[in-house]
A = this chain, B = another copy of it.
Amino acid sequence: MKFASSNLKQTNQAQEVPSLAFQFKEYMLTKLKQVNEALEEAVPLQHPIKIHEAMRYSLLGNGKRMCPILCIASCELVGGDEELAMPLACALEMVHAMSLIHDDLPCMDNDDLRRGKPTNHKVFGECIAILAGDALLSLAFEHIASKTKNVSPDCVVRAIAELGSAIGSRGVVAGQIVDIDSEGKEVSMKTLEYIHVHKTAKLLEASAVCGAIMGGADDASIERLRKYARSIGLLYQVVDDILDATKSSEELGKTAGKDLASNKATYPKLMGIDEAKKFAAELVEQAKKEIASFDSAKAVPLFHLADYIARRQS
């Protein structure tokens, strides 16, 4: 069976197959556990204690591990084993944690709450928070380079180039800069998409692409996974915007209603809640279309991951 069709009806059919739904939940929990164990091991509490405490504070705990799981699922989709992608998966979460720590700083988003607990600088102070982010970022690259096993070095080098590009001044940072520049201004749909594709989708894109590289994928498969990830990345942000506008801080584990309070451009604001939800549904279908040509048994996790992101409540 192939997930060839890409309309909503087919999504609903997939949801109605209980065994697949159950399998996905198990898959996610298993991967989450394995990623968390690998992360715990990747950053032991060593000298100097304070910096490692700060790094672990934001890296470990109750994150969704969306990037690591997407990375591993992409590696497995193209025929690779989980262990080939695990150091990269951990590195992605380190990069993600770094960007959250720096994003939450007083001179940036000035956020006090993240994943249901005080932000890094609230606990350790701004200075240590900045350094913890820097250390996580350099550790991410070190970890890929020193811990990846049984992957040809040219694939490791390619993945490092891809990740570096995704998070730098033409990737995540570009999105953050345009976002900051847009504050208090009238923002077009095109600019909003630029911000979200760069701020959010780029890291998910790198997760899928690098996972596929580690799994030994050909270029065509890598590009399909890139498009899939770009769609679910944008989807993730559209859903985030919808949740921010409709949920409480308690439900989200972070400050809710911030976008409205700061007069920030969001999808619900530019197109209304209903249209934003419709756009989200379209993105799910676009994503599924990209992976429809892969072996369906191996594509199941990614198929469900798109639905999972669309339906998340926090």
Q: A-side interface residues toward B, CB under 8 Å?
A: 46-48, 50-52, 55, 98-99, 102, 105, 107-108, 125-128, 130-131, 133-135, 137-146, 152-154, 156-158, 160-161, 163-165, 167-171, 173-174, 176-178, 180-181
Contact = CB atoms under 8 A, between A and B. Distances in A.
A134 B133 contact: yes
Nearest to A49: B177
Contacts of A108: 127, 130
B141 A173 contact: no
A135 B173 contact: yes
A177 B50 contact: yes
Contact of A164 (B127, B139, B156, B174): B139
Contacts of A154: 153
A178 B127 contact: no
A154 B138 CA distance: 19
A199 B153 CA distance: 30
A137 B139 contact: no
Contact of A145 (B161, B171, B181): B161
Central interface residue in A52, A142, A144, A181, by most chain B CB within 10 Å: A142
Given A108-B130, A139-B169, 16 more contacts: A47-B174, A48-B178, A51-B177, A102-B130, A107-B126, A130-B130, A133-B134, A138-B167, A140-B164, A142-B160, A142-B163, A142-B165, A144-B160, A145-B160, A145-B161, A153-B157
A131 B161 contact: no
B168 A142 contact: yes
B145 A130 contact: no
A51 to B, nearest CB: 5
A176 B161 CA distance: 28
Contacts of A141: 141, 160, 163-164
Contacts of A169: 48, 51-52, 55, 135, 139
Contacts of A126: 107
A166 to B, nearest CB: 8
B137 A161 contact: no
Contact of A173 (B134, B156, B171): B134
Nearest to A129: B107
B107 A125 contact: yes
B107 A48 contact: no
A168 B107 contact: no
A131 B176 contact: yes
Contacts of A138: 137, 163-164, 167-168, 171, 173
A81 to B, nearest CB: 19
A97 to B, nearest CB: 13
A177 B131 CA distance: 8
Nearest to A98: B134
B181 A50 contact: yes
A154 B152 CA distance: 8
Nearest to A198: B48
